[in-house]
Structure 1
Amino acid sequence: MSTSFALSRRERKPKAYVARYAWPHDQGAPLRVVAGHHFNRQAEIFVPTAIYDTRLRYLPWFDGTECAKSTYYHTVTPPSSFLRPEFFNEYIKKQNCLVLSLTGIDSEDVFCICEGMLQMSLRKEIYQQSGLQGTQSAYSNSRFNVTYDLRKPSMLSGSSAFNRLFSALTALTEATPFLVCVFPTEGKSPPPPLPAFFNATLYEQSLDLSRASNVLVPPLDPYVSVPKLNKPIGENERKKFTAEVVSEGYMHLLEWISLLAVGSPRVTMRDKTRALISSYAVFDDSDLEFLPPSKKNGINIVKLTISGFLTSQMLTEMYNSVIDILHSDDWAIMAVYGFEDAPVSWGAEEHGFLVSGENDYMLVMRSKPAAVANENDSSNGTSKDVTVFEVVGSHDQHS
C-alpha cells in the first residue's frame, strides 16, 4: 500500500511527487520508477559510514568493477549514421542500445533511441521539410515529435518506410554530438565495438567518493512527526491535519536530501551559518533538546557519485544491491538525475526544458525491526519501506 502526495500544485512550476511503499510487498512500484527512466547522467548514493565500510564498499557497483565494465561512447555524427546497416542490424535489431543527442530541447533538433524506438523532437521548419509524420509538441507550436519503431518487422533496410526515414535524416540533419551505450540482451554475448565510421571515444562510468561528518538526520518517516492533539477533533479534521503535517515533513526531507547532495554545511551539527543568511535548520532548538545523544551530534555519511551515461538496467542493479544489504535500523538514499534536454523522461512521455528541465528521482530506503518475523523470511528479520520522490519540470507529460 502506498501513500502519495503532490508536493506542489502551482502551474508552470517544477513539481515533486512522493509515495511510500512497503518492501518487498510493494517492491514493484519503486522498480517501475527506476526501470521507466532511461536517460540518466548521474546517481548519488548516501549511506552512514558504518554501512559503507562493512558492506557497501565490497559490492561490484561500488568498488568500481562494474563502472569499469559499463562503458559508453561519445561521437559526433549525422543521425542517419544509426540507420546504416553496420549499426542498425547489429545494435538495434539484435542488441539493446541507448542513444541520446547532446542538443538543446528548446532550440535544436533532439534525437534518442531506446528499446528500438527512435524519438525525435524537431523544429517546425525541419519537420515540414522532412515529410515525416508526427504530432505537435504539447508545449510549443514550433516543435513536432516524430516516433518510429525500428524493430517492427516491416522496418528493414531497403523497405520503403526505412528508405523514407533514412533519406529524411540524411537530407535534413548535420553532424550532431551523441552519447551511445550498447549492451547485450539477457543471455547474449557482449556486443562488439562501435563501427569505425563513428570515430567514437570510449568512456567508463566514473565513481567518486566523499565523506561528511556530524550530519544531522531528520525523521525519514514524516508520520512519526505527527503530534498528539490535546483536544479531540473529528475524524475528517484529524486526517486533514495529519496529511498537512506529513506533506510538510516530506517536503522538509526532500530539501534535506538536496542540501546533502550539494554538500551544504547547513545539515551538519557544526554549522554556524547566521539565521540572517539562511533560516534553514534540520531541527529546531526545541527539537534538539529531546534528541538522543546518538542523533544530537550527527553521524558520519559517505556519498558515492556515479556519473556518465547510466541505463535503467544499471540503476536497477544498484538499487537492488543497496536495499538488500540493509539490516535493522539501517537507511540509504539513492538520488538519480536525468538529462535535462532529453526529449522524453519516464517511458515515452514528452519532456521539455523552458526554464527548468528536471526529471529526477530519489529513493529513501529504510529498514526497521519487524513486529513479527516470518521464519521463512530471508530479510534478516526486518521490515523495509521505500519512499519515492519524483521531481518533474513543468514541461513534462509525466506531471
Structure 2
Amino acid sequence: MFQNLDKCARHLVVSEKSNLKNNKSRHRKHVQAHHYNYQVSILIPECGVIPPGVSAVCKTLGDYYLVKQLRLHELLVPEFINKFVRQGSLYVLSYNTRIDQDNCIALLPTGKLVLSVDKDTYEELGLEGQPSTYSHKTAVRYNVTVQLRDATFVPGEKRYNRVLWALKEKKPLTFDLLMTWHPSGGEEASLASYFMDYECKLYQPTLSTRVIRNLDCPVLLSKELKGKDSESCSSQEFLEWLGAVFSNINCNNQADSFLSTYCCPWPSTVLDKASLYTISGFIIPEGINLILDQLRLYFEEPKLAQWVSMTVHGFADSPVSWGEREHGYHKGGENLYNFVLFRNQDYWLHMAVGTHSDCPP
C-alpha cells in the first residue's frame, strides 16, 4: 500500500524579489499574464478588519457569465469577434471539463483560441495542431490554436472557412463556458444580450472573511528571500505555512502519537489576530492588479504588521497557465502565485505549478 510514497510528484516554484517602486519591477506583467483565476486570498497580520480600500475594490471586480451548452463555432461569428474579441479583453474558459480527460478550450484576451482535445477529436477535426508537451511515447492529446484577431481570419479566407467547417459541420463541439469581458472604452456591449438564445447566467465573485486568533506566524525579512539568515524563514517554508493557514490546519502540533505533524517554521512569533479575506469566482488580472494597488497603500499609515500576503489560485483544468504556456493536470493541477508585500514596498513573488506545466516566466 505504501510502495509509491517515495515517488513524489515534481513541482516548480519560481521566486523573485523586487520593489514596487522599481521602474523595472515586473509585478504587473506577471499578474496580467496569468489569465484564469478562481480565488484570491489576502492575509493581513495584526488586523481584525480588512482595509476599506481593499474591501471596496473586491466588491467591484465585475460580473461574469456561465453560458450553457454553447456551440463553439459561435465564437467564430464575425459580429462576435468584432464586438468582443477585437474590442477590449475577453476571457473565456470551458467549465466542468477535465484537462486530463475531456476536451477543453480557452479564449485568451489576446484573441487566441486554444483547444486542448483528445486524439479522436483531433483526428475528426482535421485541423493543424501539436501533440501535448506532456504526452507519452504515443500522443493522446493535442493542442490546436486559432488567432481570432488575425486580419486574414475572416469569411472567405481559406483558414477561416476551414476552421468554421471543422467546428460547425465536421466535429461540432459544445461547452459550458465561463465568460467575462473587460472593454477598452467606448460603447459597452452585453454578453448576455448576445447569447440570448442560450442559457446565460450572471454571477458575481463571492467574499468571505475569517479572523484568526493567536496565530503562530513565521518571521519574515524582506531581504532574505531564500531564508539564509537565521532571523527569517525561507520562501518555501512560508508557502507551506500559508497553505496550512488557508486550510485551517493547526500549526503548533506536538509529535505525540500522530503519524505526521506540522509546526510553524522557525523563527516565529504569535500574532494576536490576523484577517483572511477570500474572493472566489472568475477573476481577471485587471481586477487583481487593482487589489494589489490597494494593498501597497496599506502601509502609508503606521501599522503593526510588517507584511501582507495575497495568493491567487488559477483553475486546475485550464489549458494554459502563464501567457500561452501549456498547463497539464497530474495530481493536483497546481497553478498559483503569491505576493508578500513588505512595509518598505519590497515584495516577494512566488509562482508555482505542478508536474505537467511549463516553467513560469
TM-score range, shorter-chain basis? 0.7 to 0.9
Match of 2:99 among 94, 100, 105: 105
1:1-399 to 2 correspondence within 5 Å? Answer: 12-25=9-22, 28-48=25-45, 50=47, 52=49, 55-56=51-52, 59-62=55-58, 64=59, 66-67=60-61, 69-102=62-95, 103-114=97-108, 115-140=110-135, 141-170=139-168, 171-185=170-184, 187-194=185-192, 195=194, 196-221=196-221, 249-266=234-251, 275-277=256-258, 278-282=260-264, 295-296=269-270, 298-327=271-300, 330-367=306-343, 383-398=344-359
Per the TM alignment, residue 16 of structure 1 is displaced from its structure 2 partner at its CA by: 1.8
| Separation of aligned partners in 2, 1:203 and 1:225 | 38
Aligned-residue CA RMSD (Å): 2.7
Asked whether the equivalents of residues 56 and 325 of structure 1 are also in contact (C-alpha less than 8 Å), the reply is no
Separation in structure 2 between the aligned mates of residue 264 and residue 321 of structure 1, nearest angstrom? 28
In the superposition, relative to structure 1, how do residues 256 and 397 fare at CA in structure 2: closer, same or farther (>3 Å)? Answer: same
Corresponding residue SS for 1:265: coil
What is the CA-CA distance between 1:144 and the residue it aligns to? 1.3
Cα displacement (A) at 1:300? 0.9
- The separation in 1 between residues aligned to 2:65 and 2:204, in whole angstroms, is 6
Partner amino acid for 2:178?
L
Deviations 1:239-293 (A, max 9, x none): xxx7597997222111111111112232xxxx56654434322256xx67xxxxx
Q: Distance in 2 between matches of 1:354 and 1:174?
A: 25
Q: Tell me, in whole angstroms, the C-alpha distance in 2 between the residues paired with 1:263 and 1:75.
A: 35
Q: CA deviation at 1:93?
A: 2.4
Q: For structure 2, which runs of at least 5 residues remain unmatched after alignment? A: 1-6
Change (3 A) 1:161 1:332: same
What CA deviation, in whole Å up to 9, does each residue of 1:76-108 have, x standing for no partner? 212112123442331112342111112111112
Question: How many angstroms apart in 1 are the aligned matches of 2:354 and 2:54?
Answer: 36
Distance 2:27 2:257 in 1: 39
Q: Contact (CA 8 Å) 1:183, 1:191: kept in 2 or not?
A: no
1:15–1:245 distance in 2 versus 1, CA, 3 Å: farther
Q: Say if 1:160 and 1:245 are closer, same or farther in 2 by CA, change over 3 A.
A: farther
Paired with 2:199 and 2:187, the residues of 1 have a C-alpha distance of: 23
The residue type paired with residue 90 of structure 2 is C
Distance 1:276 1:128 in 2: 56
In 2, the alpha carbon distance for the partners of 1:151 and 1:265 equals 50
Give the unaligned 5+ runs of structure 1.
1-9, 227-241, 289-294, 368-382
Deviation (angstroms), 1:200: 0.9
Change (3 A) 1:61 1:275: farther
Tell me what 2:4 maps to.
none
Structure-1-length-normalised TM-score = 0.78
Q: Distance in 2 between matches of 1:149 and 1:28?
A: 30
2:17, 2:348 within 8 Å by CA — same for their partners in 1?
A: yes
Distance 1:112 1:386, change over 3 A: same
Please say which structure displays the higher CA radius of gyration: 1
| Aligned residue pairs, count | 342
1:139-181 residue CA offsets vs partner (Å, 9 max, x unmatched): 1111111111111111123433212111111231332211111
Take 1:207 and 1:113, find their aligned partners in 2: how far apart are those partners? 26
Letter in 1 for 2:263: A
Contact 1:345/1:398 (<8 A) preserved: no
Q: CA deviation at 1:396?
A: 0.7
Other structure's SS at 2:47 match: helix
- Distance of 1:384 and 1:35 partners within structure 2: 20
Cα distance, 1:283–1:181 mapped onto 2, change above 3 Å: closer
